A = this chain, B = another copy of it.
Amino acid sequence: MLQDIQRAALDLVEEQGLEATTVGDIAARVGVSERTVFRYYPSKEHALMPGQQGLIDALVSSESAHHTPSGILEDLLAVCRELFSHEVEQRDFRRISRLLVQEPEMLRVVTRQERSLVEALSSALVHRGVLGTLQSLLIAEIVTACWRVAWQSFARYEVDGMDSDPVSLFDQTVRELGQLFPST
């Protein structure tokens, strides 16, 4: 049912656009009542976007042998890289990616939901006891930003019909990030 609703939601947004798609439409498409949609998803946004719980879990539960901010960041980005390559295989990841570009509002939905990621990750980092609050917050923001930028780049390629290797796209993002801070 969860998937039925999400599929219907994505179908409808592709057909009619985001703004024109109401929860009632989605419910009707699935053949359930509007109320039922809200039983499965806390909001219309969540029905459209599966959320990043997998990413959150992976990052929060990841271990790091390093004890420096830069080492920890590196490990977290490695986790992202790994997960990103798997995500692409998910059935609806590409559809959502295309919507990210075609419906600007979708990116806001994503960004809003990613707050949970930043909050969970930063507090998990603080909890490890190695990093300060500011460092943890900063790292969580950077990791999230990387994920979003890589994803958005991937999405652009998808829409343009170009084939792209998600992993190398992620690597490129991280590489560009590193180049922003030259070794002086």
Contact = CB atoms under 8 A, between A and B. Distances in A.
Identical chains bound together, number? 2
A145 interface: yes
Contacts of A108: 112, 115
A149 B176 contact: no
A73 interface: yes
Contacts of A173: 134, 138
Contacts of A146: 138
Interface string A156-184: 10000000000000001100111111111
For A73, A142, A156, which residue has the most chain B Cβ atoms within 10 angstroms?
A: A142
A133 B112 contact: no
Nearest to A182: B70
A135 interface: yes
A64 interface: no
A137 B153 CA distance: 9
A73 B142 CA distance: 15
A141 B70 CA distance: 19
